[in-house]
């Protein structure tokens, strides 16, 4: 099941939340900073250990840490594309990969519920009107393609503001109408 909600990702009562991270997993502004602030220092320590052992997290990839002080059990960190650093087709492919790779990682730990921030639509500048249908279609495709084997049965796309919520909800409504 896929749903859209208006709210604060850090307060979601789900097994895993997905953070819009930078390649160094170093915390930052926006949702990334909010997650690190709410989770406490242990998440940043785990992120540093991942980068030290594996190197930077590549755009479109995802890694997982515990969730520190958050309600969730895990934080999945994914690096979205910076709009303008890639051509629009590559940016779209990388953004779709953020959603699918995050769900792959969540499934490996047995997460049943996952909540996503809107990846790359803040300081990374990915146009929200382009990102919304990519987010919705990527999650729906993953859920349909993995229905028989994945533990995940609920995904929530969490929007911080009303404008983005309307775009994402409209994308979900349109895609669900077309699939019926």
- pLDDT tens series, the chain, 180 aa: 999 999 999 999 999 999 999 999 988 888 899 999 999 999 999 999 999 999 999 999 999 999 999 999 999 999 999 999 999 999 999 999 999 999 999 999 999 999 999 999 988 999 999 999 999 999 999 999 998 777 899 999 999 899 999 999 999 998 877 655
What pLDDT score does 179 carry?
59
Question: Which domains, from first to last, does the chain contain?
Answer: 2-179 (3.40.220.10)
What pLDDT score does 57 carry?
95
Of the listed 15, 32, 87, 170, which one is catalytic?
32
What pLDDT score does 30 carry?
85
CA atoms within 13 Å, Cβ hemisphere of 53: 7
Q: Is 32 a catalytic residue?
A: yes
What pLDDT score does 114 carry?
98
Neighbour order of strands in the sheet with 74-79: 2-6, 154-159, 113-116, 16-21, 74-79, 62-66
Q: How far apart are CA 34 and CA 8, in angstroms?
A: 9
Q: How far apart are CA 35 and CA 9, in angstroms?
A: 8
What pLDDT score does 147 carry?
82
């Amino acid at each position: 099941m896929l749903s859209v909600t208006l709210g604060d990702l850090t307060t979601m009562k789900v097994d895993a939340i997905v953070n819009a991270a930078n390649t160094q997993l170093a915390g930052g502004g926006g949702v990334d900073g909010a997650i690190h602030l709410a989770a406490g220092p242990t998440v940043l320590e785990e992120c540093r250990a991942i980068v030290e052992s594996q190197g930077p997290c590549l755009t479109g990839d995802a890694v997982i840490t515990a969730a520190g002080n958050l309600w969730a059990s895990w934080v999945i960190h994914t690096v979205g594309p910076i709009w303008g650093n890639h051509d629009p087709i590559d940016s779209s492919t990388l953004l779709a990969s953020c959603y699918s790779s995050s769900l792959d990682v969540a499934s490996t730990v047995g997460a049943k519920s996952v909540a996503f921030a809107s990846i790359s639509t803040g300081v990374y500048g990915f146009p929200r009107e382009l990102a919304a249908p990519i987010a919705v279609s990527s999650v729906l495709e993953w859920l349909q393609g993995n229905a028989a084997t994945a533990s995940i049965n609920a995904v929530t796309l969490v929007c911080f503001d009303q404008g983005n919520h309307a775009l994402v909800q409209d994308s979900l409504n349109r895609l669900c109408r077309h699939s019926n």
